[in-house]
Structure formats: structure tokens, C-alpha cells
Amino acid sequence: MKILIVEDEPKAGDYLRQGLREAGFAVELVTNGVDGLHHGLEGDHDLVILDVMLPGMDGWQVLKNLRSQGRQMPVLFLTARDQIEDRVKGLELGADDYLVKPFSFAELLARVRTILRRGRSGLEATTLQVADLELDLLRRRVSRSGKRIDLTAKEFGLLELLMRRKGEVLPRSLIASQVWDMNFDSDTNVIEVAMRRLRAKVDDPFEPRLIQTVRGMGYVLEAPEGTR
């Protein structure tokens, strides 16, 4: 997966590049709008991460030009201004998502993966499995080591999200948005409590623990090394 980052702030750009590289993407970084457009037109990127305020040519212009020349790859906007007009403008011009600075890297990574997954249709799995944990989407049942686990509807939704995106660190804000449709910066405490209760049912009676807390980032569900 190739990602093009257009970001003029050098430190932010470098960290984004490093972070996304370490997450397994091939990353190209340019620092102005003109280069951004050029690389966007020439290259075969799967995603463009575009800062709105850029020297030379702003993000809107870059996006407009990309779209008018038939480039349909997804674009994620980074904006320092939390303006509704910005969002509307971006979406009208054909952006796929946007993030307001300051954002957490975990949030960016999760959004990037969401966008990139959208393109892939693939066969919709009816069961999800991680180690000995199984989740049956049709019958809405969960079992681990063959033992049935009773979950509430929201706990089921939470576990489904974690399992669908196993191995990915999911920030609390993304979890709140995806499971409860709460799209504002809410009490992070709520997610902690919900996660604790889910663990009590899914992890506590079993070995090994599958749901990990990544401090300062969020939560991830994955089988520990060597047990797979």
C-alpha cells in the first residue's frame, strides 16, 4: 500500500512518514502543494494525506486538480481549522475523510486503515476468529475455547470491532464513534469501563489475554506472539 503525504511542517511530516512506515505502508513525503500534485498525478498511490494549508498551492487546489484529471484515489485531509465550512468544502471536492489538528497518531492510523479497507470488497466473513476466540456474526454468538460467552449488544459490537481490526491499535475516540456513534470527545472513562467489562467476560477466565491496552494509544486485540 503506497501513501503520499503532503505536509509542509517538517517535524509533523517526518513523524507521519515514520509512523506509517512502521505500520507497514510505503510512504512518500513531499512538502508543498505543487510537488504534491505532481507526485499525485505521476505516482500510483493508494491514498493521499493532504494538509490544507500548504505553500505554493493549498490542499483544496491539489485535490481539485487531482480529481479533475481523473485521479480517484482516496484523500484524507489534515486541517488545523476546525471549521464546518472546511469539512463541507473538503467533502464537496471529493475528500474521503478529514482530521483536525491536533490529532492522535492512533486515530490517523485507524482512519487510514478504514479508508483503505473500503476499497476492498472481498467476501464478507460470517465468523471472526482470533486464537481460540470465535465470533459468529449471523447467530450473534461468541465463544472461547468452545465455551459460550454471553455479551450484551454493545459488548458484542465492541468485540466485533476489535476482532475485525485485530492487530490494529484502536483509539478510544474511534471506538466511541464506531460502537456507540458518539462523535464528540467524550469521557474516555466510558470506554475504559466498557473495555474492562468486556475483558472480564472474554479474557479473565481464559489464557492468554487477547485484549491489550496500549498506553497513550488505545486498545488492540491480538494473539500474543508465539501462541498463534
Least distance to other proteins, CB of residue 2, Å: 28
Least distance to other proteins, CB of residue 19, Å: 13
The piece of 44-52, 71-79, 109-117, 208-216 that touches other proteins (CB under 8 A) is 208-216
Rule CB under 8 A: which of 7-36 touch other proteins? Answer: none
Tell which one of 117, 140, 147, 154 touches other proteins (CB under 8 A): 154
Decide: is 190 part of the binding site for other proteins (CB under 8 A).
yes
Tell which one of 44, 84, 138, 228 touches other proteins (CB under 8 A): 84
CA distances in angstroms from 79 to 15, 22, 26, listed in the order given? 17, 24, 23
Amino acid type, 18: Q
Residues 116, 165 contacting (CB under 8 angstroms): no
Decide: is 72 part of the binding site for other proteins (CB under 8 A).
no
Tell which one of 22, 216, 224, 227 touches other proteins (CB under 8 A): 216
For other proteins, how many residues bind (rule: CB under 8 A)? 28
- Rounded Cα–Cα distance for residues 82 and 88 (Å): 11
C-alpha cell read off for 202: 472474554
Among 84, 12, 89, which Cα is nearest to 49's? 12
**157-169 core/surface letters (b: 16 or more CB in 10 A; e: else):** ebbbbbbebbebb
C-alpha cell read off for 13: 511530516
Residues 125, 137 contacting (CB under 8 angstroms): yes
Least distance to other proteins, CB of residue 36, Å: 26
Decide: is 177 part of the binding site for other proteins (CB under 8 A).
no
**Beta-carbon neighbour count of residue 147 at 10 Å?**
10
Tell which one of 23, 99, 217, 223 touches other proteins (CB under 8 A): 217
- Rounded Cα–Cα distance for residues 107 and 88 (Å): 21
Among 112, 73, 117, 119, which Cα is nearest to 94's? 73
Decide: is 114 part of the binding site for other proteins (CB under 8 A).
no
Least distance to other proteins, CB of residue 202, Å: 14
Tell which one of 127, 129, 143, 183 touches other proteins (CB under 8 A): 183
Residue 105 or residue 206: which is nearer to other proteins going by CB? 105
Instruction: Point out which residues bind other proteins (CB under 8 A).
Output: 82, 84, 100, 102-104, 152, 154, 176, 180-190, 192-194, 197, 214-217
